[in-house]
Amino acid sequence: MVEITLIQAVTLALARAMEEDPRVLVLGEDVGADGGVFRATDGLLARFGAERVLDTPLAEAAIAGLSIGLAAQGFRPVAEIQFTGFIYPAIDQLVNHASRLRTRTRGRITCPMVLRSPSGGGVHAPEHHSESPEAMFAHIPGLRVVIPSSPRRAYGMLLAAIRDADPVVFLEPTRLYRASREDVADDGAGLPLDRCFVLREGTDTTLIAWGGMVREALAAADALAQEGVSAAVIDVATLKPLDAETIVASVGKTGRCVIAQEAPLTGGFAGEIAARLAERGLMTLLAPIERVAGYDTVMPLPRLEHLYLPNAARIAAAALRAMAYA
């Protein structure tokens, strides 16, 4: 076992999947000789050759469309979209084809593909490199939407995504790529793609987060502990299909929650979680549901980015607001 970063865990999972299944291909812009702009596919070309690691022309719709054709023919394509800011041309392919080929053909043609993309802010990237569009994908029936937030979860969830029989959008929090290291056993074990991970148990409040916000939620829980507040932390990890049970159960015990997302507030996935809690856990709530989110503004350029992105302090402050209710 070695300590590796999240991006290295992605590479490890890709290599493992390619090793165990000859149907697995990697394609995208600069994934070959360059090893991907974040190095997610580093070394794969040398190891698996140009027929399994394909540098595509610069065409995002076609990257998704090629993957659909390959998947329909029995391959297991893992496509990289260089940044989520460039993923929008591919959305037509996801909405109109990848997510519904199984339904449209009553199971005759299926689409086992993974579309990976670095997502979220916090790394002072240029324009169009920092947004968090996960809620858009979660709104598409027939897609799984996965966002790992640790090296181990990145490894296990990416393997599960590649092995899954249906299309998966796999969003990798850019800011966590090299933020921490963790022991990751390259044992080929997948993690479930329909379950939240309870990272910390608590009795007073539940902090619910995914992607880059998970680390902030954990830091907020530490800060809250200093104030004598015991906070549970849940990494949603798979937004679609949502594991509402785990969330409702935790909030049922704590009676309070803060849902943190980097994305703009309105129409964000925190709203969906809040709605589930209102439907199924209203009577257990001791305080209003708190959402901590990005603003309904255009994502600012790096100089103001820290003012836009939710952080541990904002999450902790929201939790304390909720604690102020009886």
Partner 1 sequence: MAHFDIGYRRCLAPDGRPLEALPDLAHDAETLIGLYRAMVRTRTFDAKAVALQRTGRLGTFASSLGQEAVPVGIASAMCAEDVLLPSYREHGAQLWRGVTPLELFLYWGGDERGSDFSGPRQDFPCCVPVGSHAPHAAGVALAFKLRRERRVAVAIFGDGATSKGDVAEALNIAGVWQLPAVFVVTNNQWAISVPRRRQSAAETLAQKAVAAGIPGEQVDGNDVIAVRQAAAAALERARTGGGASLIEAVTYRLADHTTADDASRYRDDAEVSRHWPEEPLIRLRAYLAKIGRWTKDDEERLLAATAAEIDAAASAYLATEPQPPESMFDYTFARLPTDLSGQRAQALAPVPATGPEPMTAR
Residue 194's SS3 state is: coil
Specify the stretch interacting with partner 1 by CB under 8 A; choose among 10-18, 60-68, 116-124, 229-237.
Answer: 60-68
275 binds partner 1 (CB under 8 A): no
Amino acid at position 168, single letter: V
Q: How near is the Cβ of 59 to partner 1 at its closest, in Å? A: 4
CA distance 230 to 241: 28
56 binds partner 1 (CB under 8 A): yes
Closest CA to 223 of 315, 326, 324: 315
Specify the stretch interacting with partner 1 by CB under 8 A; choose among 50-58, 183-191, 201-209, 248-256.
Answer: 50-58
Of the two residues 106 and 303, which places its CB atom closer to partner 1 in the complex? 106
- Which one among 2, 3, 20, 107 touches partner 1, defined by CB under 8 A? 107
Of the two residues 89 and 190, which places its CB atom closer to partner 1 in the complex? 89
Residue 104's SS3 state is: helix
93 binds partner 1 (CB under 8 A): yes
- Residues 115-174 contacting partner 1, CB under 8 A: 141-142, 144, 164-166
Q: Which residue has the tokens 């023919």?
A: 73
Q: How many residues bind partner 1 (CB under 8 A)?
A: 47
Specify the stretch interacting with partner 1 by CB under 8 A; choose among 96-104, 120-128, 147-155, 248-256.
Answer: 96-104
Specify the stretch interacting with partner 1 by CB under 8 A; choose among 62-70, 180-188, 229-237, 307-315.
Answer: 62-70
Question: Would you say the C-alpha torsion 67, 164, 12, 93 has a positive or negative sign?
Answer: positive
What phi and psi values does residue 169 have, to the nearest 5 degrees? -95, 120
21 binds partner 1 (CB under 8 A): no
Q: How near is the Cβ of 207 to partner 1 at its closest, in Å? A: 21
CA distances (Å), origin 47, targets 18, 32, 85, 296 = 10, 11, 30, 44
- Which one among 36, 65, 173, 281 touches partner 1, defined by CB under 8 A? 65
What phi and psi values does residue 214 have, to the nearest 5 degrees? -65, -45
Q: How near is the Cβ of 239 to partner 1 at its closest, in Å? A: 10
∠ CA 55-87-298, nearest 5°, is: 140
CA distances (Å), origin 20, targets 14, 33, 76, 180 = 10, 22, 12, 28
The residues, any chain, with a CB within 8 Å of residue 302's CB and separated by 6 or more, are 124, 125
Of the two residues 241 and 288, which places its CB atom closer to partner 1 in the complex? 241
Q: Are 77 and 114 in contact (CB under 8 A)?
A: yes
CA distances (Å), origin 213, targets 112, 188, 253, 281 = 28, 27, 22, 23
Q: How near is the Cβ of 190 to partner 1 at its closest, in Å? A: 14
129 is catalytic: yes
66 binds partner 1 (CB under 8 A): yes
By rule CB under 8 A, what string of x and - marks binding of each residue 211-230 to partner 1? --------------------
Catalytic residue chosen out of the listed positions 124, 128, 129, 306: 129
Residues with catalytic roles: 129
Residues contributing to the site for partner 1 (CB under 8 A): 25, 51, 56-57, 59, 61-62, 64-75, 77, 89, 92-93, 96-97, 101-110, 141-142, 144, 164-166, 194, 241-245
